[in-house]
Amino acid sequence: MAYGHVGLRAMVPALERLGHDVVALPTVVLSSHAAYPHVAGTLVDPATLERMAAALDANGWLSSVDMVITGYLPTEAHVSVAAGLVQRIRKLSPAMRYICDPVLGDDPKGLYLPLETANPLRDELLPLADIATPNAFELAWLSNRPVSSIQTAISTARTLRPPLVLATSIPAANDHLATLLVGPTSAHATSSPQRAKAPSGTGDLLTALLAGHLASGKTPPDALAHASAWLEQCLDVSTGSHDLNLAPLYASPPSPLVLLTA
């Protein structure tokens, strides 16, 4: 992404701010995200990604990876490359945790990947994950269940294969949206007023902040509380913009949000 903070352009700064070295493999190269009227770019050929992964492995860099995050995968071939890379790294680093951000669509636009890509993402890639980070639309699509409240989101999240699910943009009372962290026997939440316009990349940033705090040793609930606080600060200074303002990442860390037990 040449302009704006979406995908890797949101995730890498957040992870590095939290003290982590990042190996970043792009699946697309774009002038900006799709909220702008003029967008140019190209897909990164899956064969190129395979060669890049092989070179990273040959240099000995994959064996030290302790967390993998996948995001936008535009074709079935990209899904296959991602699944193969996750399995390769897991063999080299068995303690590695894998976070799957199933970038499939959102409300009200719906699904924006073809079924030829979305189905293998659900059936082949998602089951490899330790953590999934769907929004409300993606959670409903992956499970084939409606998601209309915190309680339906919790029950639906527990039908997915990953043992931990971070579900975002969940409808809550009083025109709020909840972010839920759902495990097999517990669920924690943050809640904030629904914004008239949210910038692109918020899910990418939250996923990266959660991953960074987990990699730093925080428990999942603590990671959610700290990640959500930083996200809210970034959203506060991004009001009215198509793009996230990441300036708060370079200031002192905010106090963690108070979690609700759902």
Residue 117: CATH number of its domain: 3.40.1190.20
105-121 pLDDT, tens digit per residue, is 998 889 999 999 999 99
One-letter identity of residue 116: E
| Domain assignment of residue 145, given as a range | 8-261
The model's pTM is 0.96
Q: Assess if residue 205 is contained within a domain.
A: yes
Number of domains within the chain = 1
114-168 pLDDT, tens digit per residue, is 999 999 999 999 999 999 999 999 999 999 999 999 999 999 999 999 999 999 9
Helix H segments across 126-259? 136-143, 150-157, 202-215, 220-236
Helix (H, G, I), strand (E, B) or coil at 181: strand
- Give CA–CA dist 198/187, Å, rounded: 25
Q: Assess if residue 2 is contained within a domain.
A: no
Instruction: State residue 257's pLDDT score.
Output: 95
71-97 pLDDT, tens digit per residue, is 999 999 999 999 999 999 999 999 999
- Give CA–CA dist 252/230, Å, rounded: 10
Q: Assess if residue 183 is contained within a domain.
A: yes
